[in-house]
């Protein structure tokens, strides 16, 4: 903001230091959790977490005794399934919103925006009843359907904003050359907004991976995602904080890594609408 | 959103069949998404409203007795409902301003030039990407009454005399959760506001400093008006999300001790999950949604302008 270059000392005091303090507050809890997870359970309460006697015993126990591997697989299936459903249903819808003018467009778009506004608790009860009637409780499909309630409207909004960024003259050129609408979409528009689609897919993956309430309500003995597994750990191994925090680290790892990979594109997509609006 | 629709082609040469298919095409492309959302979002929503008008307890599946507004009447006379409503209001009116303020400060800092800015910008968002269960887990560990680092830290600084069981004490439980939620949500504000800050043309500041405006005046008359739109949108969006995110509370305290951390969505969820009282739970969910609607309408009015 300031145009004149402030001196180094002043900058350190007014920018670097406060930023460092905020970052410490932001990352501190996470690092503390990590530090606890690599501490030996036997000495955790006597000596406190420390980096000097680092061990991976908590992690091996997590996979060998507790069976975290299955939970990771369940989460992977649910999250990938949701990405597939969310993206495939929203590509054509986003194209229609981005390229056509038709009666009811505004209303339909607002409808998709509105879905995200409704409290989850309003949906969770009837979805439970619905899945019970359909016999889908405790299946991956039930969780994919439930997560899609969030994923579909979100990916439509994101993809409309990416597609709006691609000049319409390109589809028109393709159609002059004899492509149909669908061919123009598949051959011209989709490849161009591929980065946007990937970012949207990753965001859906993260939110489904992190989702907890649906997984708790609609899952069960067969399908237990990582978030539910972590919560179950809290109940079962109440004071074994080394194991618990190891579970937390493993549960958060995929989403955190993916997020750091795509954060730039994702954030520009997310904030675009807000800045203009 | 910009208006990106094709200019209407009114060409007399176009055969009627093609004109018709052109008119139908957008609807055909939309139909899969619309049909699926109708089935998995709108239909269940209507079902919630329907259940809320019935006496429906899951372990008596054959009882589905029409009680009209009976559940709503019961809710308004239910002490726990009012406690939860009060907590919901406290929770929203403290968490969101705290997130906004911390987010604003962070965004202003991130908008300054310093060498490790890209690293800071990437790391600041981490809380946002973490599963709420993990967030709850690590903060329960931090607040632990015997070995938690919060107590340790405050004891060493001499701010408290003895360890406090933060989450087990009804007087501190809600505040402890509010701090956790602030931590979780402020990066979102930081990122949104930063985007707003970067959309303010530099020339405004150049002109202002030539005219001799102080840093504070530049902030007051250029920065704040420049980001007020984004802040407003972010606050409204966040209110809706914070209202939705009771999972952190559910894992951290389950609403306890007593009713100290009950909020409306949590109450509705617990009613249905623990007591299997889906009729009453639905009624609370509907009441909560109606309250939230006020915020939603505000938000839609703002974005509605941008959509068309």
At A209, which CATH number? Answer: 1.10.3720.10
Give one DSSP letter per residue of B175-196, joined into a string. HHHHHHHHHHHHHHHHHHHHHH
Residues in chain B closer than 8 A to A251 (CB atoms): 131, 133-134
- The structure tokens listed for A117 are 């506004």
A153 near B CB under 8 A: yes
Residue ranges making up the domain that contains B224:
70-307
Predicted pLDDT at B2:
42
Same domain, B156 and B232: yes
A221 near B CB under 8 A: no
Same domain, B183 and B47: no
Q: What angle do CA A140, A228, B99 make, to 5 degrees?
A: 115
Q: For the ranges A48-52, A170-174, B15-19, B44-48, which has the lowest average pLDDT?
A: B15-19
B2 lies in some domain: no
Name the domain count of chain B: 2
Instruction: Find, in chain A, the residue whose alpha carbon is nearest to that of B118.
Output: A264
Residues in chain A closer than 8 A to B185 (CB atoms): none
A15 lies in some domain: no
ipTM: 0.84
- The structure tokens listed for B168 are 């087990």
B157-210 pLDDT, tens digit per residue, is 878 878 788 888 888 888 999 999 999 889 888 888 888 888 888 888 888 888
B54, β-bridge pairs: B66
A25 lies in some domain: no
Q: Residue B101 — pLDDT band, cuts 50, 70, 90?
A: very high
Instruction: Find, in chain A, the residue whose alpha carbon is nearest to that of B278.
Output: A125
B52-66 pLDDT, tens digit per residue, is 888 877 777 667 778
Same domain, B33 and B174: no
- Interchain contact, B140 vs A234, CB within 8 Å: yes
- The span from the CA of B250 to the CA of A277, in Å, is 34
Residues in chain B closer than 8 A to A58 (CB atoms): none
Residue A5 has pLDDT above 80, yes or no: no
Name the domain count of chain A: 1
A126-143 pLDDT, tens digit per residue, is 888 888 888 888 899 999
**CA nearest neighbour of A237 among A16, A97, A65, A28:** A65
Residues in chain B closer than 8 A to A228 (CB atoms): 133
CA pseudo-torsion sign A201, A204, A210, A214: negative
- The span from the CA of A229 to the CA of A216, in Å, is 9
A5 lies in some domain: no
A221 lies in some domain: yes
Same domain, B36 and B103: no
Same domain, B25 and B154: no
Report yes or no: A188 and A174 within 8 Å, Cβ to Cβ. Answer: yes
- Interchain contact, B289 vs A16, CB within 8 Å: no
A238-264 pLDDT, tens digit per residue, is 778 888 888 889 888 888 888 888 777
Predicted pLDDT at B1:
41
Mean pLDDT of the region A49-57: 75
Same domain, B31 and B131: no
Percent of chain A clearing pLDDT 90 (strictly above): 10
- Interchain contact, B141 vs A244, CB within 8 Å: yes
What's chain A's average pLDDT? Answer: 83
- The span from the CA of B186 to the CA of A254, in Å, is 22
Instruction: Find, in chain A, the residue whose alpha carbon is nearest to that of B251.
Output: A231
A54 lies in some domain: no
Mean pLDDT of the region A146-150: 88
User: Which residues, other chains included, contact B246 with Cβ-Cβ below 8 Å and sequence gap of 6+?
Assistant: A121, B263, B265, B266, B269
What's chain B's average pLDDT? Answer: 82
B65, β-bridge pairs: B55
B256 lies in some domain: yes
Taking residue B204's Cβ as centre, other Cβ atoms within 10 Å add up to 15
Torsion of CA A228, A253, A80, A159, to 10 degrees: 120
Which of A118, A209, A226, A256 best probes binding to B when mutated, by most B CB atoms within 10 angstroms?
Answer: A118
Predicted pLDDT at A141:
92
A267 lies in some domain: yes
Predicted pLDDT at B4:
46
B127 lies in some domain: yes
Predicted pLDDT at A84:
93
Predicted pLDDT at B6:
47
Same domain, B33 and B110: no
**Residue A106: which of B183, B233, B307 has the nearest Cβ?**
B307
Q: For the ranges A75-79, A234-238, B114-118, which has the lowest average pLDDT?
A: A234-238
A31 lies in some domain: no
Cα-trace Rg, chain B: 25
A146 lies in some domain: yes
- The span from the CA of A208 to the CA of B238, in Å, is 19
Predicted pLDDT at B305:
63
Whole-prediction pTM? 0.83
B57, β-bridge pairs: B277
Same domain, B188 and B300: yes
Residue A1 has pLDDT above 70, yes or no: no
Instruction: Find, in chain B, the residue whose alpha carbon is nearest to that of A86.
Output: B33
Residue B48 has pLDDT above 50, yes or no: yes
- Interchain contact, B130 vs A30, CB within 8 Å: yes
Mean pLDDT of the region B211-233: 84
Same domain, B20 and B104: no
**Residue A129: which of B206, B219, B278 has the nearest Cβ?**
B278
Residue ranges making up the domain that contains A118:
68-276
Q: Name residue, tokens 């802040």.
A: B231
Same domain, B22 and B86: no
Same domain, B170 and B139: yes
Mean pLDDT of the region B269-280: 83
Same domain, B76 and B28: no
Q: Which residue has the higher pLDDT, B147 or A265?
A: B147
Q: Which residue has the higher pLDDT, A168 or A262?
A: A168
Which strand (E) or helix (H) includes residue A215? helix A213-218
Shortest Cα distance, chain A CAs vs residue B87, angstroms: 17
- Interchain contact, A122 vs B229, CB within 8 Å: no
Residue A21 has pLDDT above 70, yes or no: yes
């Amino acid at each position: 903001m300031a145009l004149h270059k402030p001196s180094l000392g002043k900058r350190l005091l007014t920018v670097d230091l406060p930023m460092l303090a905020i970052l410490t507050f932001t990352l501190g809890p996470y690092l503390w959790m990590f530090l606890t997870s690599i501490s030996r359970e036997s000495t955790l309460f006597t000596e406190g977490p420390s980096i000097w006697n680092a061990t991976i015993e908590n992690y091996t126990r997590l996979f060998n005794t507790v069976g975290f591997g299955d939970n990771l697989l369940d989460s992977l299936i649910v999250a990938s399934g949701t990405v597939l459903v969310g993206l495939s249903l929203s590509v054509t819808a986003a194209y229609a919103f981005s390229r056509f003018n038709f009666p009811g467009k505004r209303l339909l778009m607002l409808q998709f925006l509105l879905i995200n506004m409704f409290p989850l608790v309003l949906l969770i009860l009837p979805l439970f009843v619905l899945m019970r009637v359909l016999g889908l409780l405790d299946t991956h499909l039930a969780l994919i359907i439930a997560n899609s309630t969030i994923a579909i409207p979100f990916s439509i909004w994101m993809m409309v904003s990416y597609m709006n960024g691609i000049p319409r003259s390109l589809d028109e050129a393709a159609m002059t050359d004899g492509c149909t609408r669908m061919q123009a979409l598949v051959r011209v528009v989709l490849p161009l907004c591929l980065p946007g689609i990937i970012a949207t897919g990753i965001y859906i993956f993260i939110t489904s991976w992190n989702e907890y309430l649906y997984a708790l309500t609609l899952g069960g003995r067969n399908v237990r995602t990582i978030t539910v597994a972590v919560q179950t750990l809290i109940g079962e191994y109440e004071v074994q904080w080394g194991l618990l925090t190891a579970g937390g680290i493993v549960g958060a790892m995929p989403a955190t890594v993916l997020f750091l990979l795509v954060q730039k594109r994702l954030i520009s997509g997310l904030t675009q609408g807000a800045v203009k609006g | 959103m910009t208006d990106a629709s094709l200019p209407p082609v009114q060409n007399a040469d176009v055969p009627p069949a093609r004109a018709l298919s052109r008119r139908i095409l957008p609807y055909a492309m939309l139909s899969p998404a619309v049909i699926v959302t109708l089935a998995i979002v709108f239909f269940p929503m209507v079902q919630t409203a329907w259940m809320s008008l019935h006496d429906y307890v899951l372990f008596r599946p054959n009882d589905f007795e029409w009680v009209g507004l009976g559940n709503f009447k019961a809710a308004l006379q239910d002490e726990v409902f009012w406690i939860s409503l009060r907590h919901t209001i406290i929770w929203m009116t403290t968490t969101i301003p705290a997130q906004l303020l911390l987010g604003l400060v962070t965004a202003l800092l991130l908008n300054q030039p310093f060498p490790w800015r890209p690293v800071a910008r990437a790391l600041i968002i981490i809380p946002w990407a973490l599963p709420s269960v993990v967030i709850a887990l690590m903060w329960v560990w931090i607040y632990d009454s015997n070995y938690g680092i919060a107590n340790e830290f405050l004891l060493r600084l001499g701010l408290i005399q003895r360890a406090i069981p933060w989450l087990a004490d009804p007087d501190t439980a809600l505040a402890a959760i509010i701090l956790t939620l602030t931590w979780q949500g402020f990066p979102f504000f930081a990122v949104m506001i930063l985007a707003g800050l970067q959309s303010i043309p530099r020339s405004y500041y150049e002109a202002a400093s030539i005219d001799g405006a102080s840093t504070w005046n530049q902030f007051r008359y250029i920065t704040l008006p420049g980001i007020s739109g984004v802040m407003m949108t972010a606050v409204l969006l966040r209110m809706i999300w914070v209202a939705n995110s009771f999972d952190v509370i559910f894992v951290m305290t389950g609403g306890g001790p007593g009713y100290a951390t009950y909020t409306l969505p949590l109450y509705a969820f617990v009613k249905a999950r623990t007591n299997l009282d889906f009729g009453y739970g639905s009624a609370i969910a509907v009441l909560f949604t109606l309250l939230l609607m006020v915020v939603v309408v505000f938000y839609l009015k703002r974005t509605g302008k941008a959509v068309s």
